[in-house]
Structure 1
Amino acid sequence: MIVERAYAHVDSPDPGEWPWSVPCVRQFLDEGLQFEAPVTFLVGENGSGKSTLVEALAEGFGLDGYGGSADWKYATSRGKSLLGERVRFDAAPRGRRMAYSRSARKGFFLRAETALDALERESLEPDTRSHGEGFLAAFREKFVVPGLYVMDEPEAALSFASCLELLGHMDQLVKAGGQVVCATHSPLLTALPGADIVQVGEGGMERVRWADLELVDHWRRYLADPQAYLRHVLG
């Protein structure tokens, strides 16, 4: 493990003001987030706050909130997010220098919205590849050295087969000593053996078994009987 716990302190946060109004952020301020496995998945509906949380974790570790590797320092002038500038870590012994020294830091923040720009900065030539191939280029070429790798919905550009390849990269990365935190909607990715799954929603954060995830239940029901869902959305 690189980091064992993340936390943040805010003096008298306004519960009606974003991001302090988001349930998972409020819980994060109260309790922090303990990392119990080398791979942690954050799962939840759009608007649940999982992307807000992973972006803040990346920024707290010193990764560019725009996306990119630990070697790249802030592509945008906006600075860190309100939560990201307050995030701190309890690091594992081998992660202490990495968490607090830029020269020793290793990792990458991959977010779906800015991935192609970030990859182009990293000289991975995404313009010569499809969207999904550009993502996989990052996994193959940048997700190698042990460090903290944060991802926000990496499945957005990937086919079923490519998601399986990503799982293989994650497995090899953590076996080499890396750590992954990933926000996702994918029942395929979250099935990675040994991963810790945190479901995010109106009740904040809770650890859930893969088989008990709401998204897994919905996909099972949909694949068994698509019409049971489609009749509610099609004219």
Structure 2
Amino acid sequence: MNIQVLVVEDDFRVARVHVEFTHRIEGFTVAATARTAAEARRALAARPVDLVLLDTYLPDGSGLDLLAELTADAIMLTAANDAATVRAAYARGALNYLVKPFTAEQFADRLTAYRHYRALVAADRPLTQVEIDRCWRVVHEGDRAAAPKGQSAVTAGLVSEALRTAARPRTAADIADELGISRATAQRYLAELAREGAAEVQLRYGGTGRPEHQYRMPRERPA
């Protein structure tokens, strides 16, 4: 998956940071940048994108007005944190909202969640209600204030990414060896992913007959 991104930000230094942050995340390419709403419209007319990273305060108008025109998905990256602006952004179609200043990790959380969401809606078939509910939950994964009690958000992200990039189902021992954590820790995080519906679990029976849990990201169901 190669998600094409337009960065709309009037401050060229901030825009450069957003571009750099985006390029660090697998599956994303910055197709263009724009400093005004007019530039953004021209860029979109010349080359449609999948995702717009959009500021609210633009020299020639409000990013909210541009948001209402978009056919692409959008995530707001803005200093505006008043309730009215947040409500307007969501009402006009923003998928997520990140208030400046933010960290590279917070930014990566939102884009990674968006990539997972896009994977869920990529299938050309009707979605079940369970899958639709999962889409909404997944696109806001980065908004969770904290990991479950006793868990680290950083470790949870590493376990999830290791599972996502695996070519085959993985066991807790596999993940533990790859990340340098204990098997019990890996098992705890994998079990939490399964509980949330973000991973599938199956049993594998070894030579001793003792079953072992294997985990993988949910597979797309055939149309």
Normalising to structure 1: TM-score of the pair? 0.29
**Higher RCO by CA contacts (8 Å cutoff, separation 6 or greater):** 1
Larger Rg: 2
